A and B are shown apart, each in its own frame.
Chain A
Amino acid sequence: MDKPNFVYVTYIASTPEKVFKALTDTEATARFWFGNAVTSDWTIGAPVTFHRNGELVVKGEVLEYDPPRRLSYTFHSQHDGLYTEQPSRVVLDIEQQKDQVKLTMTHDDFAPNSKVFEKISSGWPLVLSSLKSYLEANRVLRAPWYDKETAAAS
């Protein structure tokens, strides 16, 4: 029985240090990750939290912290009733290739029939596209699902 995993590769005209920093920095993630700001002291076993507009949306724990090559944490969605699912795992591998960075994101360890898996499968390409735009052009992307929230609330 195959357990699903989601792998996404992108190439970014930047340095491993800048890519690693953007993925671990509260202000940077607030910008490119559509307001989802990450906080952690990044020691092994320490909590990792993502907050958006003051609300805790994802929490986890640092598994690996090896700047600027590899970052890994558990991923436990807190919103939309998804917290009943067991935490999954995110691994970010950062590799210098000539004067570019190859970034490989692997998200695995999902519960069977995971609803989180479906959501992150559409989330990661947008997040990592936004990261690339942020580092290369200092512009970020918008997440259409937040636009719908704003529209629904008004």
Chain B
Amino acid sequence: MNTMRRSVWGFAPAMAMLSLGAWEPAWAATLAVNCNGNPVGTITVNASAGGAGGGGISGGFTSSVGGPPATLAAAAAACGETEFNWYQIVTSANNTYVDRQGNTLTPPFVDPPLNGLATDIDPTWADNMPWYYDMYSPPAGTPNFDSGYLLSNNTTSSTLNFSDYPNGPAGATVSFSTWLVSLNADGSFQAFDGGFSWTWTKGTGVTNITTFNTAPTNAQYANIIGGFAYAVPEPSSLWLVALGVGFVLARRRRRVG
């Protein structure tokens, strides 16, 4: 059973925009996020025409409490938590995706997958937690680390940003569901705060943005995060893991010798 203790009010799943005298469809969604009965902020996402693949989605969660000015920290405190991130899954796709370990992924699966996609698809490093933005940096010198995906580089004092511009071969289409998620100080899960689903199509961009106020089902969360870590590793823990790996390798080498 996944925790969903916020009340979320969604509206405007789709809007029409007047542009250059012609009606052009544009997709946007807004959700008011309440915590313990009080409003703490708003999720707003919009379809964006940018990117090489024909478009994507951008927006974020903006706090409405604290200050003024409002701060994310105040929203987190109002909810009895430490920080926010996103939890995103692929719900359907007409492409084959392979994770860094070589496993073929079948929807629903977590985006990004554990440590990222196979390097011949996308070598960009991802951490080992199930949240959208990386919670920590890899050791210095780790290849293909893009610090632009660090959580800390996607927050301002009052906003947690969200952006994604998927890409793929001609005809590719992928559907996603994305939740705002509350985390404890060690990055472990605390609660889901509502979210939105959306579809990206090569050359068309993002359509069908709809909001929801339900937590993911077990098939969308509990059943698919088995390989992920549940807390940010502390430096001392990383050293212990490195020592353990070194010990095992040394023993194996001695046996071979």
A and B found bound together: no
Where the two chains meet, the residues of B that have a C-beta atom closer than 8 Å to any C-beta of A are: none
Contact surface of A with B, Cβ cutoff 8 Å: none
